[in-house]
Structures are given as structure tokens and as C-alpha cells.
Amino acid sequence: MHELAITESIVESVEDRVNGARVLRVALLIGKLSGVVPDALRACFEICAEGTVMEGAALDIEETPGRARCRDCEAQVELLDTIALCPCGSANLAMLSGRELKIRSVEVVTCVPPADAPTALKRD
């Protein structure tokens, strides 16, 4: 269940960047061949976000298709799974996309919240 560690990493990275601001939305880019399952990520995010500035935030996951260049015939091929072959029969493929694991953006509240709002989320 590496999605849990991946999600912890997302929560940490976002917290590092938003300076305590409340987060409404986190947008991720997850490659279809990355080995990370979006549904598992969503389940973990709900749990990991609890008690942080991301609690209740929406999680947008954009999945990128797998693409590769065949090193033998130079064709670009779409990869539906990780064990794909080029139509020419070669397995010698250079991955171009599909393995991304990225935080694209976060939407944060910009209005001044009640003064105790951020502190309530901060636990020392």
C-alpha cells in the first residue's frame, strides 16, 4: 500500500508550500503507468488530510496516458499497460510519459480567515 506513503508525501509537500493557508483543492498528475492507483490515493488522502490545512479539500487527479518511443523502429506508441510491445514487435521502448507523479497546483483560501482558524489547525 505505497499509496499511503505517497499521500503522506503529498500532504507534507503541500503544507510546506502554503504557509498555513487553508487548501480547497489539490490537483495531481498521475501517470497511468506510475504504479499508483488513483482510487487508493483518494482514500488515503481523506485520512491523511484530516487535521491539516487540507482537511476536506477536493482532490483532482488527472491521469496521463502511457506513451513511448520504440528504439528499434522510432514509432511513437501508446501504452495501455506496462508490458506493451511496439507494433513492430520490439519491447525496447523508451517511456515518454505515463509515469508522472506530480502535484500540479493547489487552490488556497485567500480571504483573511478568523484569526484562530489557522492556529486551530496547528498542533505544536
Partner 1 sequence: MCSTCGCSDGAETRLTVFTGEHKAGHSHADDGHQHGDHHHDHSHGSHEHHHDHDEAHAHSHEHIQENPASRTLQLEQDILAKNNHLAEHNRGWLEGREIVAFNLMSSPGAGKTSLLERTIRELGADIPICVVEGDQETTLDAERIGATGCRAVQINTGSGCHLDAAMIADALKRLKPPSGSVLMIENVGNLVCPALFDLGESAKVVIASVTEGEDKPLKYPHMFRSADLMILNKIDLLPYLPFNVDRCIAYARQVNPTLKVLQLSVLKGDGMDAWYSFLRQRKAAQSVTA
**Whole-number minimum distance, CB 1 to partner 1, in Å?**
6
Using CB under 8 A as the binding rule, whether residue 56 contacts partner 1 is answered as no
C-alpha separations of 74 from 27, 113, 117 in Å: 33, 55, 56
Shortest approach of partner 1 to residue 95 CB, angstroms? 9
Residue 39's alpha-carbon distances to 1, 12, 45, 119, in angstroms, are 12, 20, 10, 31
- Minimum Å gap between C-beta 46 and partner 1 is 9
* Integer Cα distance of 27 and 60 in angstroms: 5
Considering only residues 58 to 77 of the shown chain, the ones binding partner 1 according to CB under 8 A are none
Binding residue for partner 1, selected from 40, 42, 69, 102, defined by CB under 8 A: 102
